[in-house]
Amino acid sequence: MPPQSRPRLEPPMSERLPLRTIDWFVPASLRSDVALLWQTRIFVVSHLAGPCLGALICSATARMAGRVASSKNAPETPEAVATKCSLVS
């Protein structure tokens, strides 16, 4: 009886399209090694998504700082603390 071969399962389109899009930024010379390819993919994703995530984190931090400063039990501002400690003339 011949050995049964498993059909090759292709990943769904939802997984293939992002990888093909990311691979567009990867030079062909870096695609020869699988580990190097994945390292390069992570590098590309971090550099594409990094600025957007950074802006989001900065705006969320600024909004939270505004809420804290407007509350009754808000801590002193850094300027007030520095003035008390004679760090600012």
| Type of residue numbered 47 | H
Count of structural domains within the chain: 1
Residue 83, classed as helix, strand or coil, is helix
Does residue 4 form part of some domain? no
In angstroms, the Cα distances linking 54 to 18, 36, 58 are 21, 26, 6
Q: Does position 19 have pLDDT exceeding 80, yes or no?
A: yes
Does residue 26 form part of some domain? yes
C-alpha radius of gyration, the chain, whole number: 26
Does residue 8 form part of some domain? no
Q: What's residue 70's pLDDT?
A: 56
Q: Does position 74 have pLDDT exceeding 90, yes or no?
A: no
Domain that holds residue 80: 13-84
| Averaged pLDDT, 57-62 | 88
| Averaged pLDDT, 10-20 | 77
What is the model's pTM?
A: 0.53
Q: Does position 86 have pLDDT exceeding 70, yes or no?
A: no
**Per-residue confidence band for 79, with pLDDT thresholds at 50, 70 and 90:** confident
